[in-house]
Structure 1
Amino acid sequence: MKKLLSIVAISMMMSCSDQSSELKNTIKEDQQIDEINKMGLKLISSGFNAGDGYAEVWIRDFNTFVTQSAKVLDQKDIKDNILNFFYIQEADGNIADGFIEVRPGYDSTYYKKSALKPSLAYHKNTVETDHETSLVQTVYKYIKATNDRSILNEVIDGKTVTERLVMSMDFLMNERYNEKYGLLWGATTADWGDVQPEHPWGVALDENSHLTIDIYDNAMFVIALNNMIEICGHQIDVVKWTKIKDEITNNVRTHLWDEKNQKYIPHIYLHGSPFPKDFDENEIMYHGGTAVAIQAGFLTKKEIKVSLEKMIKNVKESGAPSIGLTLYPVYPEGFFQNTGMHPYGYQNGGDWTWFGARMISALIENGYEKEAWEQAQPMFDRVLKNKGFYEWYTRDNQPTGSGMFRGSAGVLLDAIDAFQDYANED
């Protein structure tokens, strides 16, 4: 019997090895990813703003293409654009959403002018809790891509970048930490989005906001803490931040993971929900937040596979083009005052490569290369079909939003790099 089992095991290993070799050859021979890579690098080489629909350099976007920027842009220009976020950092440590270069006629009611660098004006969408974590991740990726650790010792208004990174994490613990759950909070949004339901625009916290805890903000926080601990080392209080990281990780599992349904609950409301009492929000699965949670190391390999299967099922049931589908089922008509947040609109069921490709990279990192390759194909196909990297896609796979969205290019090229690294393994 033992001999028979050994034969079966060897046979299975050989079969897996053959499949792996076949996939690696497929990736090596695939011409579309080379073309997409060239297209993406050309776009990223043209600047730092999020896309042709945005004047700002947004930190949550810059974080997702800085690695690719290092391949095609001057290192000093990249560094200067990162440092700009520290010039607009406020005294409590918070980081702005994005900045513009001040020019005649700029809207001074929307933007604040930087006191440390008056040529910059900045804005913060206060419903979000990912600006600070995005900046830490951006600095980390810059160092990994360039080996330039000198950025950590740059001094801005008497404080080094390392000190300012710590300030930004302290801001989250001081201003966005809920003691009861031991997790970060933000406003109610759809998954990773920046639009709350209570207003026609919906980007600013006020007395109408419903504060809540979600998976995306806390996964981004843990990734940032891992990054900061790695690059800053003995210059920071590693014991303190490791303890916080571990507590956040454990509290995510305790309070946000729905063991029965094998998914994250959308929100823990701190003072009531903005939605009708008879609405069962926990039917919704957040694709983007789940992908980032996998990147944060929150899920087991088995749970990752279950999550992927749920995403694929959601894509089939919704008719969406890819697992970049933001969430499913979608919020009903009228649940968001912002008219762009209609069912299958924008962040309420739009399909975003910007997050879908993060899931692709997460699958590769966790040994699901075959599944990743299969799920990446719709994202590859539409780049070539539409000759560009659009911000998001409708349910019938029509491109919309910014037509040159650098975040989409950045994460898709990251995934291509991961595929090629896998294919070139011995």
Structure 2
Amino acid sequence: MTGFAPLTPPPRLLMGPGPINCYPRVLSAMSTQLVGQYDPVMTGYMNETMALYRTLFNTKNQQTMLIDGTSRAGIEAVLVSAIEPGDKVLVPIFGRFGHLLAEIAERADAEVHTIEVPWGEVFKPEQIEAAIKKVQPKLLAIVQGDTSTTMFQPLEDIGAICEANDVLFYCDATASVGGNPLEVDKWKLDAVSVGLQKCLGGPSGSAPITMSQKFVDVVRTRHHVEAGIRDAHHESARGPKIRSNYFDLGMIMDYWGDERLNHHTEAATMLYCARECAILHLEEGQQNVIARHKVAGDAMLAGVQALGLTPFGDLANKMSNVVGVVIPDGVHGEQVREDLLLRFNIEIGTSFGPLKGKIWRIGTMGYNARQDAVLHTLQSLETVLRKQGMSLPAGAGVDAALAVYSGAMNV
């Protein structure tokens, strides 16, 4: 069949909540030739990737690896591998992705309990502690940064609460990892899953995860088995089978481990990509990357405020890498997004649920957490809003953002 042109997507600047434009070195890594999945070069790359993500996650967990699939694949692998039918799971919900965790846990036949705060807020540790004492769950599943609301849930005190109550502590940190602090061991997290397509500067399609030994033991055994009858690492030693072959973390650990037991064919191109994302992050330095995201986020926030726009939610608990902007009365929010996309090649996001059509979400993450991207977005947004009849202080958004960058350079 002929007549299909080569891929030539327009040069979009992706300034939404993700995905974002990839780092050029990540794109180059993805064009690298393949080798066989058991070639010592390939298994060496796998080992390097595990080590890189241990450092990125700030953990000593041996079981740190990639799940082949989008960030949702990582979430599903963690939850379906740990949950048995009837297990109690507690999900604190402060945005769309808390609902996702609850749904996946329900599909694993957990007894799911939820607590909620209004979108735009986060939980206090005592709220979570009270719910844990009431529900007595096997597992707490929470999102660190929820892009639907732009809120960032503090985790520092929750691990100790879970430990004191013998609760597994799982976090989806897809939207926050890289651009915000994440201390897996220090905060006593038992399992974390993330994606590449936000602050890590890669494409969607690979989900790095890490698991504590406590979490690994739960996955490995599922039910207690009479001592000495079977090897607990053997499939027949488990209780009710995990309801997925592809997402069975016990089998995936054996594939990534020294045994190299065949489970799937590793997505080599995505492994190259995930490896390069981690290398770039660590070469720049974790604290430097977090600081870069904070400056970009602060500049974008200052810029939209200087234009007279209202940011959404509790600003004391927002992610550094995305800001919610309340759509002004009389402004056609989708027309603004369309004009930015088709006239300026800039993509910003809308939102979901109770915020659908009420806020825009503007991201500053990964490769796009840089001054020129922030300034171009603010100037273009001002132009589009003027086109809709808004009276705005000329250049105020760009000036405010420049002031933030100037202040950061002088620190």
TM value normalised by structure 1: 0.24
Higher helix share: 1
Higher strand share: 2
Identify which of structures 1 and 2 has the higher relative contact order when contacts are C-alpha pairs closer than 8 Å and 6+ apart. 2
TM value normalised by structure 2: 0.24
